[in-house]
Structure 1
Protein backbone atom coordinates (compact mmCIF):
# COMPACT_ATOMS: atom_id res chain seq x y z
CA UNK A 1 0.00 0.00 0.00
CA UNK A 2 1.47 3.33 -1.12
CA UNK A 3 0.57 6.19 1.20
CA UNK A 4 1.45 9.87 0.89
CA UNK A 5 0.51 12.89 2.96
CA UNK A 6 1.05 16.44 1.73
CA UNK A 7 1.21 19.79 3.52
CA UNK A 8 3.31 21.80 1.07
CA UNK A 9 0.35 23.45 -0.61
CA UNK A 10 -3.12 22.10 -0.02
CA UNK A 11 -3.50 19.41 2.66
CA UNK A 12 -3.78 16.06 0.89
CA UNK A 13 -3.61 12.35 1.55
CA UNK A 14 -3.43 9.62 -1.09
CA UNK A 15 -3.51 5.84 -0.78
CA UNK A 16 -2.69 3.81 -3.87
CA UNK A 17 -3.83 6.70 -6.03
CA UNK A 18 -7.10 7.26 -4.16
CA UNK A 19 -7.50 10.68 -2.55
CA UNK A 20 -8.71 11.17 0.99
CA UNK A 21 -11.85 13.32 1.03
CA UNK A 22 -11.84 16.03 3.71
CA UNK A 23 -14.23 18.66 2.40
CA UNK A 24 -14.26 20.73 5.62
CA UNK A 25 -11.30 23.02 6.29
CA UNK A 26 -11.22 22.23 10.02
CA UNK A 27 -10.85 18.51 9.28
CA UNK A 28 -7.87 19.29 7.07
CA UNK A 29 -6.47 21.43 9.88
CA UNK A 30 -6.78 18.54 12.35
CA UNK A 31 -4.98 16.25 9.92
CA UNK A 32 -2.27 18.87 9.40
CA UNK A 33 -1.72 19.24 13.15
CA UNK A 34 -1.42 15.47 13.57
CA UNK A 35 1.03 15.25 10.66
CA UNK A 36 3.19 18.06 12.02
CA UNK A 37 3.36 16.28 15.38
CA UNK A 38 5.63 13.85 13.55
CA UNK A 39 4.16 10.66 14.95
CA UNK A 40 4.31 11.99 18.50
CA UNK A 41 1.36 12.09 20.87
CA UNK A 42 -0.72 15.23 20.58
CA UNK A 43 -2.80 15.95 23.67
CA UNK A 44 -6.31 17.34 23.39
CA UNK A 45 -5.06 20.59 24.91
CA UNK A 46 -2.24 20.96 22.39
CA UNK A 47 -4.57 20.09 19.53
CA UNK A 48 -7.04 22.73 20.72
CA UNK A 49 -4.23 25.30 20.91
CA UNK A 50 -3.15 24.32 17.39
CA UNK A 51 -6.58 25.11 15.99
CA UNK A 52 -7.77 28.07 18.06
CA UNK A 53 -6.04 31.05 19.66
CA UNK A 54 -8.94 31.03 22.15
CA UNK A 55 -10.52 27.54 22.19
CA UNK A 56 -14.33 27.65 22.51
CA UNK A 57 -16.15 25.94 25.36
CA UNK A 58 -17.17 23.24 22.94
CA UNK A 59 -13.55 22.54 21.92
CA UNK A 60 -13.37 19.07 23.52
CA UNK A 61 -16.57 17.82 21.90
CA UNK A 62 -15.68 19.48 18.61
CA UNK A 63 -12.33 17.71 18.60
CA UNK A 64 -13.96 14.32 19.19
CA UNK A 65 -16.27 14.97 16.26
CA UNK A 66 -13.45 16.16 13.99
CA UNK A 67 -11.23 13.19 14.85
CA UNK A 68 -14.04 10.73 14.29
CA UNK A 69 -14.65 12.22 10.86
CA UNK A 70 -10.95 12.17 9.97
CA UNK A 71 -10.76 8.52 11.05
CA UNK A 72 -13.85 7.71 8.98
CA UNK A 73 -12.30 9.41 5.94
CA UNK A 74 -9.12 7.38 6.42
CA UNK A 75 -11.18 4.19 6.71
CA UNK A 76 -13.08 5.04 3.54
CA UNK A 77 -9.83 5.12 1.59
CA UNK A 78 -8.35 2.06 3.29
CA UNK A 79 -9.58 0.17 6.37
CA UNK A 80 -6.01 -0.34 7.53
CA UNK A 81 -5.23 3.35 7.29
CA UNK A 82 -7.78 4.21 10.00
CA UNK A 83 -5.63 2.23 12.44
CA UNK A 84 -2.86 4.77 11.95
CA UNK A 85 -4.87 7.34 13.92
CA UNK A 86 -4.60 6.17 17.52
CA UNK A 87 -6.47 7.48 20.57
CA UNK A 88 -4.14 7.25 23.57
CA UNK A 89 -6.03 5.87 26.61
CA UNK A 90 -6.88 7.85 29.74
CA UNK A 91 -7.00 11.22 28.04
CA UNK A 92 -3.51 10.84 26.64
CA UNK A 93 -4.41 12.44 23.33
CA UNK A 94 -3.97 11.29 19.74
CA UNK A 95 -1.22 10.32 17.35
CA UNK A 96 -0.97 9.55 13.66
CA UNK A 97 1.81 7.13 12.81
CA UNK A 98 3.91 7.86 9.74
CA UNK A 99 6.44 5.79 7.85
CA UNK A 100 9.60 7.35 6.38
CA UNK A 101 8.94 9.16 3.12
CA UNK A 102 5.18 9.44 3.56
CA UNK A 103 5.00 13.17 4.45
CA UNK A 104 6.19 15.72 1.90
CA UNK A 105 7.21 18.22 4.59
CA UNK A 106 9.59 15.67 6.14
CA UNK A 107 11.05 14.73 2.77
CA UNK A 108 11.50 18.40 1.95
CA UNK A 109 13.21 19.10 5.28
CA UNK A 110 15.65 16.23 4.82
CA UNK A 111 16.54 17.22 1.26
CA UNK A 112 16.90 20.90 2.20
CA UNK A 113 19.18 20.12 5.17
CA UNK A 114 21.35 17.85 3.05
CA UNK A 115 21.47 20.44 0.28
CA UNK A 116 22.54 23.16 2.68
CA UNK A 117 25.24 20.90 4.16
CA UNK A 118 26.69 20.27 0.69
CA UNK A 119 26.47 24.00 -0.08
CA UNK A 120 28.45 24.85 3.04
CA UNK A 121 30.99 22.19 2.07
CA UNK A 122 31.43 23.78 -1.37
CA UNK A 123 29.85 20.82 -3.18
CA UNK A 124 27.65 23.01 -5.32
CA UNK A 125 26.41 20.58 -7.97
CA UNK A 126 25.19 18.09 -5.35
CA UNK A 127 23.65 20.94 -3.34
CA UNK A 128 21.80 22.28 -6.39
CA UNK A 129 20.38 18.86 -7.25
CA UNK A 130 19.15 18.18 -3.71
CA UNK A 131 17.64 21.64 -3.31
CA UNK A 132 15.94 21.42 -6.71
CA UNK A 133 14.27 18.18 -5.62
CA UNK A 134 13.28 19.72 -2.29
CA UNK A 135 11.65 22.76 -3.85
CA UNK A 136 9.86 20.66 -6.47
CA UNK A 137 7.70 19.22 -3.66
CA UNK A 138 5.99 22.56 -3.08
CA UNK A 139 2.60 23.25 -4.70
CA UNK A 140 1.85 26.56 -2.95
CA UNK A 141 1.97 28.03 0.58
CA UNK A 142 1.95 25.38 3.30
CA UNK A 143 -1.57 24.44 4.32
CA UNK A 144 -3.03 27.01 1.94
CA UNK A 145 -6.52 25.53 2.13
CA UNK A 146 -6.93 25.82 5.90
CA UNK A 147 -7.44 28.88 8.10
CA UNK A 148 -6.71 28.57 11.81
CA UNK A 149 -5.73 31.04 14.51
CA UNK A 150 -3.80 28.73 16.83
CA UNK A 151 -0.22 27.44 16.92
CA UNK A 152 -0.73 25.48 13.70
CA UNK A 153 -0.64 28.78 11.81
CA UNK A 154 2.88 29.50 13.09
CA UNK A 155 4.01 25.97 12.22
CA UNK A 156 2.83 26.44 8.66
CA UNK A 157 4.49 29.86 8.52
CA UNK A 158 7.73 28.23 9.69
CA UNK A 159 7.47 25.74 6.82
CA UNK A 160 7.09 28.62 4.36
CA UNK A 161 10.19 30.24 5.89
CA UNK A 162 12.14 27.01 5.32
CA UNK A 163 11.07 27.14 1.70
CA UNK A 164 12.48 30.68 1.33
CA UNK A 165 15.80 29.63 2.87
CA UNK A 166 16.00 26.60 0.58
CA UNK A 167 15.28 28.84 -2.42
CA UNK A 168 18.09 31.18 -1.38
CA UNK A 169 20.41 28.19 -0.95
CA UNK A 170 19.44 26.91 -4.41
CA UNK A 171 20.17 30.30 -5.96
CA UNK A 172 23.52 30.37 -4.18
CA UNK A 173 24.48 26.92 -5.45
CA UNK A 174 23.61 27.88 -9.02
CA UNK A 175 25.54 31.14 -8.77
CA UNK A 176 28.56 29.14 -7.60
CA UNK A 177 28.16 26.89 -10.64
CA UNK A 178 28.40 29.91 -12.93
CA UNK A 179 24.80 30.87 -13.60
CA UNK A 180 24.31 34.64 -13.86
CA UNK A 181 22.01 36.25 -16.43
CA UNK A 182 19.65 33.30 -16.54
CA UNK A 183 19.17 33.53 -12.79
CA UNK A 184 18.33 37.23 -12.70
CA UNK A 185 14.54 36.91 -13.24
CA UNK A 186 14.35 34.33 -10.45
CA UNK A 187 16.38 36.46 -8.05
CA UNK A 188 14.37 39.59 -8.89
CA UNK A 189 11.17 37.67 -8.14
CA UNK A 190 12.64 36.57 -4.80
CA UNK A 191 13.57 40.16 -3.95
CA UNK A 192 10.06 41.37 -4.81
CA UNK A 193 8.48 38.67 -2.66
CA UNK A 194 10.84 39.22 0.29
CA UNK A 195 12.14 42.80 0.02
CA UNK A 196 13.37 42.95 3.63
CA UNK A 197 15.64 39.90 3.45
CA UNK A 198 19.34 40.68 2.99
CA UNK A 199 20.36 37.57 1.14
CA UNK A 200 18.29 37.98 -2.06
CA UNK A 201 19.52 41.57 -2.43
CA UNK A 202 23.09 40.37 -1.97
CA UNK A 203 22.58 37.63 -4.57
CA UNK A 204 21.00 40.11 -6.98
CA UNK A 205 23.95 42.49 -6.65
CA UNK A 206 26.47 39.71 -7.21
CA UNK A 207 24.56 38.28 -10.18
CA UNK A 208 24.30 41.69 -11.86
CA UNK A 209 28.00 42.38 -11.34
CA UNK A 210 29.00 38.99 -12.71
CA UNK A 211 26.67 39.52 -15.69
CA UNK A 212 28.72 42.60 -16.58
CA UNK A 213 26.40 45.19 -15.08
CA UNK A 214 28.19 46.79 -12.10
CA UNK A 215 26.03 49.92 -12.41
CA UNK A 216 22.94 47.76 -12.11
CA UNK A 217 24.43 46.08 -9.04
CA UNK A 218 24.97 49.49 -7.40
CA UNK A 219 21.43 50.54 -8.34
CA UNK A 220 20.18 47.36 -6.63
CA UNK A 221 22.01 48.40 -3.47
CA UNK A 222 20.32 51.79 -3.52
CA UNK A 223 16.94 50.10 -4.03
CA UNK A 224 17.64 47.89 -1.02
CA UNK A 225 18.70 50.92 1.00
CA UNK A 226 15.41 52.69 0.23
CA UNK A 227 13.40 49.59 1.10
CA UNK A 228 15.04 49.13 4.48
CA UNK A 229 14.86 52.83 5.26
CA UNK A 230 11.20 53.21 4.31
CA UNK A 231 10.00 50.01 5.99
CA UNK A 232 12.26 49.75 9.04
CA UNK A 233 14.07 53.05 9.36
CA UNK A 234 17.47 51.34 9.20
CA UNK A 235 20.44 51.15 6.87
CA UNK A 236 21.27 47.96 4.94
CA UNK A 237 23.24 45.30 6.80
CA UNK A 238 27.04 45.42 6.99
CA UNK A 239 27.18 42.53 4.53
CA UNK A 240 25.34 44.57 1.93
CA UNK A 241 27.42 47.66 2.68
CA UNK A 242 30.64 45.66 2.34
CA UNK A 243 29.41 44.19 -0.95
CA UNK A 244 28.65 47.68 -2.26
CA UNK A 245 32.18 48.73 -1.38
CA UNK A 246 33.62 45.66 -3.10
CA UNK A 247 31.67 46.46 -6.27
CA UNK A 248 32.92 50.05 -6.23
CA UNK A 249 36.50 48.75 -5.87
CA UNK A 250 35.93 45.94 -8.42
CA UNK A 251 37.09 43.48 -5.73
CA UNK A 252 36.25 40.27 -7.57
CA UNK A 253 37.43 38.03 -4.73
CA UNK A 254 35.09 39.59 -2.19
CA UNK A 255 32.23 39.80 -4.67
CA UNK A 256 32.56 36.06 -5.38
CA UNK A 257 32.21 35.26 -1.68
CA UNK A 258 28.96 33.30 -1.27
CA UNK A 259 25.95 34.66 0.58
CA UNK A 260 25.67 31.76 2.99
CA UNK A 261 22.96 31.44 5.65
Structure 2
Protein backbone atom coordinates (compact mmCIF):
# COMPACT_ATOMS: atom_id res chain seq x y z
CA UNK A 1 0.00 0.00 0.00
CA UNK A 2 1.31 3.45 -0.96
CA UNK A 3 0.41 6.04 1.67
CA UNK A 4 0.96 9.80 1.60
CA UNK A 5 0.05 12.19 4.43
CA UNK A 6 2.28 15.18 3.63
CA UNK A 7 -0.53 16.98 1.84
CA UNK A 8 -3.97 15.52 1.07
CA UNK A 9 -4.34 11.95 2.36
CA UNK A 10 -3.76 9.31 -0.30
CA UNK A 11 -3.66 5.54 0.09
CA UNK A 12 -3.53 3.22 -2.89
CA UNK A 13 -3.44 -0.48 -3.52
CA UNK A 14 -2.07 -0.75 -7.03
CA UNK A 15 -3.79 2.03 -8.94
CA UNK A 16 -6.91 2.08 -6.77
CA UNK A 17 -7.56 4.58 -3.99
CA UNK A 18 -8.81 3.23 -0.67
CA UNK A 19 -9.46 6.65 0.89
CA UNK A 20 -13.13 7.04 1.89
CA UNK A 21 -15.01 10.25 1.22
CA UNK A 22 -16.70 10.44 4.64
CA UNK A 23 -14.85 12.46 7.28
CA UNK A 24 -14.63 10.01 10.18
CA UNK A 25 -13.54 6.94 8.20
CA UNK A 26 -10.83 9.20 6.72
CA UNK A 27 -9.69 9.99 10.26
CA UNK A 28 -9.52 6.29 11.07
CA UNK A 29 -7.46 5.56 7.96
CA UNK A 30 -5.16 8.54 8.61
CA UNK A 31 -4.41 7.48 12.18
CA UNK A 32 -3.81 3.87 11.14
CA UNK A 33 -1.60 5.05 8.27
CA UNK A 34 0.57 7.17 10.55
CA UNK A 35 1.02 4.08 12.71
CA UNK A 36 1.54 1.61 9.86
CA UNK A 37 2.55 -1.80 11.16
CA UNK A 38 1.65 -0.86 14.73
CA UNK A 39 -1.56 -1.54 16.62
CA UNK A 40 -3.82 1.43 17.35
CA UNK A 41 -6.16 0.72 20.24
CA UNK A 42 -9.92 1.10 20.01
CA UNK A 43 -9.74 3.67 22.83
CA UNK A 44 -7.19 5.74 20.90
CA UNK A 45 -9.33 5.64 17.77
CA UNK A 46 -12.41 6.61 19.76
CA UNK A 47 -10.52 9.49 21.37
CA UNK A 48 -9.49 10.71 17.91
CA UNK A 49 -13.01 10.51 16.55
CA UNK A 50 -15.06 11.83 19.48
CA UNK A 51 -12.70 13.24 22.10
CA UNK A 52 -14.23 13.39 25.58
CA UNK A 53 -17.77 12.78 24.31
CA UNK A 54 -17.91 9.38 22.60
CA UNK A 55 -21.40 8.00 21.91
CA UNK A 56 -22.58 4.84 23.64
CA UNK A 57 -22.32 3.08 20.31
CA UNK A 58 -18.68 4.18 19.79
CA UNK A 59 -17.25 0.66 19.48
CA UNK A 60 -19.97 -0.47 17.06
CA UNK A 61 -19.69 2.72 15.01
CA UNK A 62 -15.92 2.35 14.82
CA UNK A 63 -16.36 -1.23 13.63
CA UNK A 64 -18.70 0.06 10.92
CA UNK A 65 -15.99 2.47 9.73
CA UNK A 66 -13.46 -0.38 9.67
CA UNK A 67 -15.87 -2.49 7.60
CA UNK A 68 -16.20 0.40 5.12
CA UNK A 69 -12.43 0.57 4.79
CA UNK A 70 -12.19 -3.20 4.33
CA UNK A 71 -14.80 -3.12 1.56
CA UNK A 72 -12.72 -0.51 -0.28
CA UNK A 73 -9.59 -2.60 0.28
CA UNK A 74 -11.39 -5.71 -1.01
CA UNK A 75 -12.39 -3.88 -4.19
CA UNK A 76 -8.85 -2.62 -4.69
CA UNK A 77 -7.31 -6.07 -4.17
CA UNK A 78 -9.28 -7.47 -7.09
CA UNK A 79 -10.00 -11.14 -7.84
CA UNK A 80 -7.82 -13.88 -6.33
CA UNK A 81 -5.65 -11.62 -4.17
CA UNK A 82 -2.64 -12.94 -2.25
CA UNK A 83 -4.21 -11.70 0.98
CA UNK A 84 -7.62 -10.55 2.10
CA UNK A 85 -8.84 -7.23 3.49
CA UNK A 86 -8.71 -8.55 7.07
CA UNK A 87 -4.99 -9.16 6.60
CA UNK A 88 -4.41 -5.67 5.23
CA UNK A 89 -6.49 -4.08 8.00
CA UNK A 90 -6.30 -6.52 10.87
CA UNK A 91 -7.86 -6.79 14.31
CA UNK A 92 -5.53 -7.23 17.26
CA UNK A 93 -6.06 -7.70 20.99
CA UNK A 94 -7.12 -4.14 21.77
CA UNK A 95 -7.32 -2.44 18.40
CA UNK A 96 -6.53 -2.45 14.69
CA UNK A 97 -3.37 -2.42 12.61
CA UNK A 98 -2.74 -1.45 9.00
CA UNK A 99 -0.37 -4.01 7.53
CA UNK A 100 2.15 -1.74 5.83
CA UNK A 101 5.87 -1.17 6.50
CA UNK A 102 6.51 1.37 9.27
CA UNK A 103 8.67 3.38 6.84
CA UNK A 104 6.22 3.01 3.96
CA UNK A 105 4.65 6.46 4.28
CA UNK A 106 6.00 9.69 2.86
CA UNK A 107 6.13 11.02 6.44
CA UNK A 108 8.51 8.24 7.48
CA UNK A 109 10.70 8.85 4.42
CA UNK A 110 10.70 12.58 5.14
CA UNK A 111 11.81 12.05 8.74
CA UNK A 112 14.57 9.66 7.69
CA UNK A 113 15.96 12.03 5.04
CA UNK A 114 15.69 15.04 7.35
CA UNK A 115 17.52 13.17 10.12
CA UNK A 116 20.32 12.13 7.75
CA UNK A 117 20.51 15.69 6.44
CA UNK A 118 20.91 17.07 9.93
CA UNK A 119 23.62 14.50 10.66
CA UNK A 120 25.48 15.52 7.49
CA UNK A 121 25.22 19.18 8.46
CA UNK A 122 26.62 18.48 11.93
CA UNK A 123 29.48 16.54 10.31
CA UNK A 124 30.36 19.53 8.12
CA UNK A 125 29.05 18.08 4.84
CA UNK A 126 26.99 21.08 3.74
CA UNK A 127 26.54 19.88 0.15
CA UNK A 128 25.30 16.47 1.25
CA UNK A 129 23.06 18.04 3.88
CA UNK A 130 21.50 20.44 1.38
CA UNK A 131 20.75 17.61 -1.07
CA UNK A 132 19.25 15.32 1.57
CA UNK A 133 17.13 18.04 3.13
CA UNK A 134 15.88 19.23 -0.24
CA UNK A 135 14.84 15.66 -1.10
CA UNK A 136 13.00 15.47 2.22
CA UNK A 137 11.16 18.74 1.65
CA UNK A 138 10.14 17.81 -1.90
CA UNK A 139 7.98 15.03 -0.41
CA UNK A 140 5.57 17.67 0.91
CA UNK A 141 2.56 18.44 -1.33
CA UNK A 142 0.87 20.88 1.04
CA UNK A 143 -0.05 21.00 4.74
CA UNK A 144 0.00 17.59 6.42
CA UNK A 145 -3.36 15.79 6.12
CA UNK A 146 -4.75 18.83 4.33
CA UNK A 147 -8.11 17.21 3.59
CA UNK A 148 -8.63 15.47 6.95
CA UNK A 149 -10.39 17.10 9.90
CA UNK A 150 -8.13 16.06 12.78
CA UNK A 151 -9.07 15.17 16.32
CA UNK A 152 -6.68 15.35 19.25
CA UNK A 153 -4.26 12.64 18.15
CA UNK A 154 -4.05 13.59 14.49
CA UNK A 155 -3.91 17.27 15.44
CA UNK A 156 -0.86 16.63 17.62
CA UNK A 157 0.77 14.61 14.84
CA UNK A 158 0.13 17.33 12.27
CA UNK A 159 1.76 19.90 14.56
CA UNK A 160 4.76 17.60 15.06
CA UNK A 161 5.22 17.04 11.33
CA UNK A 162 4.88 20.74 10.51
CA UNK A 163 7.49 21.57 13.16
CA UNK A 164 9.85 18.98 11.68
CA UNK A 165 9.22 20.49 8.25
CA UNK A 166 10.16 23.98 9.45
CA UNK A 167 13.29 22.65 11.15
CA UNK A 168 14.30 20.91 7.92
CA UNK A 169 13.81 24.19 6.03
CA UNK A 170 16.02 26.00 8.56
CA UNK A 171 18.69 23.30 8.33
CA UNK A 172 18.64 23.36 4.52
CA UNK A 173 19.01 27.14 4.53
CA UNK A 174 21.88 26.79 7.01
CA UNK A 175 23.58 24.32 4.66
CA UNK A 176 23.03 26.63 1.68
CA UNK A 177 24.51 29.56 3.60
CA UNK A 178 27.61 27.45 4.21
CA UNK A 179 27.77 26.84 0.46
CA UNK A 180 27.70 30.56 -0.34
CA UNK A 181 24.18 30.53 -1.80
CA UNK A 182 23.03 33.60 0.14
CA UNK A 183 21.80 35.41 -2.97
CA UNK A 184 19.37 32.67 -3.93
CA UNK A 185 17.95 32.50 -0.39
CA UNK A 186 16.76 36.09 -0.07
CA UNK A 187 13.29 35.61 -1.53
CA UNK A 188 12.60 32.44 0.43
CA UNK A 189 13.82 33.94 3.71
CA UNK A 190 11.85 37.15 3.17
CA UNK A 191 8.68 35.12 2.81
CA UNK A 192 9.45 32.90 5.78
CA UNK A 193 10.19 35.79 8.13
CA UNK A 194 6.91 37.40 7.12
CA UNK A 195 5.13 34.12 7.88
CA UNK A 196 6.96 33.69 11.20
CA UNK A 197 7.52 37.24 12.51
CA UNK A 198 8.99 36.09 15.86
CA UNK A 199 11.21 33.28 14.57
CA UNK A 200 14.76 34.27 15.51
CA UNK A 201 16.72 31.68 13.56
CA UNK A 202 15.04 32.56 10.27
CA UNK A 203 15.56 36.27 10.93
CA UNK A 204 19.20 35.66 11.74
CA UNK A 205 19.65 33.68 8.55
CA UNK A 206 18.04 36.49 6.55
CA UNK A 207 20.31 39.05 8.22
CA UNK A 208 23.39 37.02 7.26
CA UNK A 209 22.16 36.52 3.68
CA UNK A 210 21.45 40.25 3.26
CA UNK A 211 24.81 41.24 4.72
CA UNK A 212 26.64 38.87 2.39
CA UNK A 213 24.67 40.33 -0.53
CA UNK A 214 25.97 43.83 0.27
CA UNK A 215 22.69 44.98 1.85
CA UNK A 216 23.75 45.67 5.41
CA UNK A 217 21.16 48.40 5.94
CA UNK A 218 18.38 45.95 5.10
CA UNK A 219 19.87 43.37 7.46
CA UNK A 220 19.75 45.97 10.23
CA UNK A 221 16.14 46.78 9.33
CA UNK A 222 15.26 43.09 9.70
CA UNK A 223 16.71 43.14 13.21
CA UNK A 224 14.80 46.31 14.02
CA UNK A 225 11.49 44.79 12.92
CA UNK A 226 12.12 41.62 14.90
CA UNK A 227 13.08 43.59 18.01
CA UNK A 228 9.92 45.69 17.76
CA UNK A 229 7.79 42.54 17.41
CA UNK A 230 9.51 40.86 20.37
CA UNK A 231 9.10 43.87 22.65
CA UNK A 232 5.52 44.59 21.56
CA UNK A 233 4.18 41.03 21.52
CA UNK A 234 6.30 39.35 24.17
CA UNK A 235 7.70 42.15 26.32
CA UNK A 236 11.18 40.73 25.69
CA UNK A 237 14.33 41.76 23.88
CA UNK A 238 15.72 39.44 21.19
CA UNK A 239 17.95 36.65 22.47
CA UNK A 240 21.57 37.40 23.43
CA UNK A 241 22.70 35.38 20.39
CA UNK A 242 20.74 37.56 17.98
CA UNK A 243 21.92 40.69 19.73
CA UNK A 244 25.51 39.50 19.17
CA UNK A 245 24.73 39.01 15.49
CA UNK A 246 23.35 42.56 15.36
CA UNK A 247 26.56 43.92 16.89
CA UNK A 248 28.61 41.87 14.42
CA UNK A 249 26.70 43.43 11.54
CA UNK A 250 27.35 46.93 12.88
CA UNK A 251 31.05 46.13 13.28
CA UNK A 252 31.43 44.40 9.91
CA UNK A 253 32.76 41.29 11.63
CA UNK A 254 34.89 39.26 9.14
CA UNK A 255 33.26 36.07 10.47
CA UNK A 256 30.11 37.09 8.61
CA UNK A 257 31.81 36.91 5.21
CA UNK A 258 30.80 34.16 2.77
CA UNK A 259 32.73 30.86 2.89
CA UNK A 260 35.64 30.42 0.55
CA UNK A 261 34.45 29.15 -2.83
CA UNK A 262 35.47 25.54 -3.49
CA UNK A 263 36.12 24.51 0.11
CA UNK A 264 33.07 22.25 0.23
CA UNK A 265 31.21 24.28 2.83
CA UNK A 266 32.75 22.46 5.77
CA UNK A 267 33.08 23.61 9.34
CA UNK A 268 36.60 24.94 8.72
CA UNK A 269 35.27 27.81 6.59
CA UNK A 270 34.25 31.23 7.86
CA UNK A 271 32.27 31.02 11.10
CA UNK A 272 28.53 31.15 10.63
CA UNK A 273 26.41 32.97 13.16
CA UNK A 274 23.33 31.01 12.22
CA UNK A 275 23.58 27.23 12.38
CA UNK A 276 22.16 24.13 14.07
CA UNK A 277 19.25 26.02 15.59
CA UNK A 278 21.48 28.46 17.49
CA UNK A 279 23.23 31.71 16.67
CA UNK A 280 26.80 31.83 17.85
TM-score (normalizing by structure 2): 0.87
- Cα distance, 1:75 vs structure 2: 1.8
CA distance in 1, matches of 2:240, 2:49: 40
Q: CA RMSD in A?
A: 1.7
User: Is the 1:52–1:150 Cα contact (8 Å) retained in structure 2?
Assistant: no
1:36-74 Cα distance to aligned partner (Å, 9 max, x none): 224221111111122333242232222111111112212
Contact kept in structure 2, 1:176 and 1:258, CA below 8 Å: no
How far apart in 2 are the matches of 1:75 and 1:68? 10
Count matched residues. Answer: 257
CA distance in 2, matches of 1:110, 1:23: 30
Map 1:80-99 → 2, pairs under 5 A:
80=83, 82=85, 83-89=87-93, 92-99=94-101
Q: Residue 256 of structure 1 aligns with which residue?
A: 272
Q: State the partner residue of 1:224.
A: 226
User: Which deviates further from its counterpart, 240-249 or 223-232?
Assistant: 223-232
Shift of 1:141: 0.7
Structure 1: segments with no counterpart, 5+ residues: none
Q: Deviations over 1:205-253 (max 9, x none)?
A: 1100111111111110011111222222221112211110111111131
Question: CA 1:6/1:81 → structure 2, altered by over 3 Å: closer, same or farther?
Answer: farther
CA distance, structure 2, for counterparts of residue 216 and residue 27 of structure 1 = 51
1:189 maps to which residue?
Answer: 191
Give the deviation of 1:124 after TM superposition: 0.6
User: Mind listing any 5+ residue stretches in structure 2 that lack a counterpart?
Assistant: 257-270
Is 1:51–1:151's contact at 8 Å kept on the other side of the alignment?
A: no
Shift of 1:81: 6.5
Calculate the TM-score normalised by the size of structure 1: 0.93
Note if contact 2:47-2:54 (Cα within 8 Å) is conserved in structure 1: no
Which has the larger displacement, 114-123 or 17-26? 17-26
Deviation sequence 1:80-138 (CA, Å, 0-9, x none): 3722211014xx21111222652100000000000011011110111111111100010
* Residue of 121, 126, 129 corresponding to 2:128: 126
Match of 1:64 in 2: 63
Q: Which moved more, 1:238-247 or 1:104-113?
A: 238-247
CA contact (8 A) 2:36 2:101 kept: no
Which structure 1 residue ranges, 4+ long, deviate > 3 Å from structure 2?
none
